[in-house]
Amino acid sequence: MASEEIIGLIAAALTTSSFVPQVYKAWKFNSTKDISMTMYLVFCTGTVLWLIYGIRIDSLSIVIANAVTMLLSLLIIIAKLKFK
Amino acid sequence: MASEEIIGLIAAALTTSSFVPQVYKAWKFNSTKDISMTMYLVFCTGTVLWLIYGIRIDSLSIVIANAVTMLLSLLIIIAKLKFK
């Protein structure tokens, strides 16, 4: 594997896993008041386009990262809808 | 410009600009209780690595997106430190 793909995979692991504590916090405390719904709606749409981009430029890091991040941001959107 | 770079730039514009309403909300309402500090610390570190990755694979979309996203996530970290 090329060294840039290793950097990309570590970057992907960090930016993707970063959403886990936010999902955990929202669902544990049932509170999402300070979280911006606009942010997650726009972000989620963006990850769909990044996914297409990753497939087009054949970047494994971008594809994996954005598939998982999209799902995690969806969980935050659901929490935001559920816990006002 | 290749069509995948146009998709990448739109993706970058969306995921990057998505942080603006969160920055605005945190600084307007001086409240960050529901925002996960762990998320933004890990996320910010990840954007630094994405920046290096973008430079290495010569992707303009990734470089611009992550430079700006890193700055916006820093503003959320500062808000989180300032408004408990």
CATH number at residue B21: 1.20.1280.290
Q: How many domains does chain A have?
A: 1
- Does pLDDT of B30 surpass 80? yes
Q: What is the DSSP letter of B34?
A: T
The token pair at A49 is 């386009």
Among B5, B17, B20, B22, most A C-beta atoms within 10 A, so best to mutate, is B22
If you average pLDDT over residues B52-59, what whole number do you get?
Answer: 92
Assembly ipTM: 0.88
Cβ–Cβ gap B14/A53 under 8 Å: no
User: Is 90 exceeded by the pLDDT of residue B55?
Assistant: yes
**Spatial separation of the C-alpha atoms in residues A29 and B53, rounded to whole Å:** 36
Q: Do A39 and B52 touch (CB under 8 A)?
A: no
Show the 3-state SS of A7-74: HHHHHHHHHHHCHHHHHHHHHHHCCCCCCCHHHHHHHHHHHHHHHHHHHHCCCHHHHHHHHHHHHHHH
A83 vs B: CB within 8 A: no
> Pick from B14, B24, B39: which is nearest to A19 by CB?
B39
Residue type (1 letter), A21: P
How distant is the Cα of B57 from the closest Cα of chain A, in angstroms? 7
Domain limits at A46? 3-82
Taking residues B45-69, report their average pLDDT.
91
Share of chain A above pLDDT 70, in %: 100
Task: Give the pLDDT confidence score for residue B53 in this predicted structure.
Answer: 92
Does residue B17 have a pLDDT over 80? Answer: yes
pTM: 0.90
Contact (CB<8Å) B36/A21 = yes
Q: Residue A45: its chain B contacts at CB < 8 A?
A: 14
What SS3 class is residue B23?
helix
Q: Is A21 on the interface with B (CB under 8 A)?
A: yes
A4:B45 CB<8 A: no
